Structure 1
Amino acid sequence: MALEVLRTYPTGGREGHMVRLSSDGSRAYVTSRGAEGTLSVIYLEEDIEPTVIETGPGAEGLTVTADGAEVWVLNRQETTISVIDAQSLKVVEEVSSHTFAGRAEALEGGQVAVVNGMGGQTVGGYLRLYDAESRAVSHDLLIPGNQSGTGGYGLLVHGKVVFLTTRSGGSILVYDLEDEDPGTPFALATGHEGPDGMAWTPLRLNVFEN
């Protein structure tokens, strides 16, 4: 079956990098990681120009909270996260992050997972968990092996489980946040060449069984 482009949308004159959908699917949120980092709000069901919101330098990773009320944008050239209200489209708070924070995922139960790494310097990689409502840090977990520098990480969540790829280490780590010691992940796979992005499929069963 041949694929075809159904429609294209302007991004507000910005270089689009990462994208997330709103909880109702009516909007797309697109970050631009230039020197003047922004978030473009694209209206998928309306023929209007996007709203462009200034966040911070190097805006890259983003996530929509589980209730759809906020968009969190990671400004990786700063140590900040811009929290944007999805109704007013205003930055309502700036939250501190580790250096080079680049990926974020919202979890059920009102948490946001953020991972940092990569960049021109050697920095320790952490999986940091925030409470989305209070902005407080609930866990700050050093990633085993300290895969830093030019490596970086990919991030995926499913329920209370966090999957994390280490590009330099070539592995996929799994964190069970309901475990008594969530800071000790197990390796789902090793020996990969620069693993990065991931997606969840429900079709493969019993993947964690020994």
Structure 2
Amino acid sequence: MRKLKAVIVVLGLFFLGLVVFYLMKQPTYSIKTEGTLYIVNKVSKSVTIFDLLKGKEVKELSITVEPHEAAFVKKLNSIVVTNYGVSDTNENNLTVINPTDNQITHKISLGKSSKPHGIIALKESNKVGVVTDIGNHLSIVNIETGKLEKQIATQQKFSHLLVQHPIKPLIYVSNINSGSVSVIDMELDSVVKIIPFTNKVEGIDISLDGSELWVTNIEENSIAVINTETYETLTTIPTGKEPLRLKFSTDGLYCLVSNSSDGTISVYDAKMKKQISTIKIPGKKNIVEKIVYRTPRPVGILMHPNGLYAFVSNFTAGRVEVIDMKSFKIVSSIKVGQMPDGLAIIN
């Protein structure tokens, strides 16, 4: 009987210690920097709005359908969210949020094209570019008028993410199922080149001078570096497992890649095209870490305009990891909704 009581006491203390440890390891935000961060939560069907200077949540705004990505249209001071829908429901619209009061102002239909995913604010404009997984269009939407101005077929399947050339009137779209990148000329309103790879290319970004396009392959675990003049592959760089996103730093010196299955973020020297650091998100060492942190799955990456921090959405853990861009270490975490993905910032 005494042995049984002793075992019960030991187990009780163990679980009490685990609970205390769990509470101590919950997301803590300890930095101070300017701006408001908008985090798109897929399963929560919401956008978490977080004040980066005060270090507190401003609001969790309901979107009613499953959203995926977001962009900030500076000219109109608007946040625009893509409404993707769940597996059996194909949504085809965008939600526009007014950051002044963080209220939804209106929605914009994308017509027959559905499951909008990737979105970018077009430079010096009141418009966004959106690509759709079904319909496979690049849609140009005027946020001020609420009108779908034009749609350009990507000529490929499962068009997912996009990036704009910093100088030329070109937009590059990664097509997952076709294993390709569509190069679209915005003056001609047509595809001028299809860059072929193997299936499952997804993450995409362009160097500051526009000379190189970096594209991740989530099955081959690699980055293809493309010359934007010749469309030739300059080199292929290995990554961790399932590299879903990549993003250049604001000064263009580094590139961050979220390795979703590894629970890591790789840091590359953009000029040397070599990995210089691996950032491990807590949660994979042992069963205790998995319980406390949840197994990490990094997805979206956003650079703060001040260049000091990067934000990475930790999909399964319901948090956003804040990375110091000088030390390449996680310096804070933000608790958000379920399955955060897209990120946008107002600075």
Query: What interval of TM-score do these two structures reach, taking the shorter chain for normalisation?
Result: 0.7 to 0.9
The structure with the largest strand share of the pair is 2
Partner of 1:160: 308
Are positions 1:74 and 2:216 aligned together? yes
2:228 to 62, 86, 105: 86
Cα drift, residue 18 of structure 1: 0.6
Q: What is the DSSP-based 3-state SS (H/G/I as helix, E as strand, rest coil) of the residue aligned with 1:199?
A: strand
Give aligned pairs, total: 192
CA distance in 2, matches of 1:39, 1:4: 27
AA partner of residue 207 (structure 2): T
The structure with the largest helix share of the pair is 2
**Aligned-CA RMSD value:** 1.9
CA distance in 2, matches of 1:173, 1:66: 25
Are positions 1:5 and 2:148 aligned together? yes
Gapped regions of structure 2 (runs ≥ 5): 1-143, 285-293
Cα drift, residue 102 of structure 1: 0.6
Q: Pairwise mapping of residues 1-210 of structure 1 onto structure 2 (< 5 A)?
A: 3-24=146-167, 26-34=169-177, 36-107=178-249, 108-117=251-260, 123-146=261-284, 148=295, 151-158=297-304, 159-179=307-327, 182-187=328-333, 189-202=334-347
Q: Contact 1:85–1:92 at 8 Å: present in 2 too? A: yes
Partner of 1:207: none
Q: What is the DSSP-based 3-state SS (H/G/I as helix, E as strand, rest coil) of the residue aligned with 1:88?
A: coil
CA distance in 1, matches of 2:252, 2:171: 23
Partner of 1:205: none
Structure 1 stretch 167-176 or stretch 9-18: which is displaced more?
9-18
Cα drift, residue 48 of structure 1: 4.3
Cα drift, residue 68 of structure 1: 1.4
Identity of aligned residues (%): 24
Q: What is the DSSP-based 3-state SS (H/G/I as helix, E as strand, rest coil) of the residue aligned with 1:20?
A: strand
Check 1:173–1:68 CA distance in 2 against 1; reply closer, same or farther (3 A cut). Answer: same
Gapped regions of structure 1 (runs ≥ 5): 118-122, 203-210
Q: Contact 1:55–1:91 at 8 Å: present in 2 too? A: no
Q: Which has the larger radius of gyration?
A: 2
Q: What is the DSSP-based 3-state SS (H/G/I as helix, E as strand, rest coil) of the residue aligned with 2:191?
A: coil
TM (norm. structure 1) is 0.84
Q: Contact 2:180–2:197 at 8 Å: present in 1 too? A: yes
Larger relative contact order (C-alpha < 8 A, sep ≥ 6)?
Answer: 2
Cα drift, residue 50 of structure 1: 3.0
> Once the two structures are superposed, what CA deviation does each residue of 1:68-108 show, in whole Å capped at 9, x if it has no partner?
11110000011111111111122221111111001000111
TM (norm. structure 2) is 0.52
AA partner of residue 100 (structure 1): E
Cα drift, residue 148 of structure 1: 4.6
Q: Contact 2:204–2:216 at 8 Å: present in 1 too? A: yes
Q: Contact 1:102–1:115 at 8 Å: present in 2 too? A: yes
Check 1:67–1:110 CA distance in 2 against 1; reply closer, same or farther (3 A cut). Answer: farther
CA distance in 2, matches of 1:139, 1:130: 7
> Once the two structures are superposed, what CA deviation does each residue of 1:36-59 show, in whole Å capped at 9, x if it has no partner?
410111111124433101123200
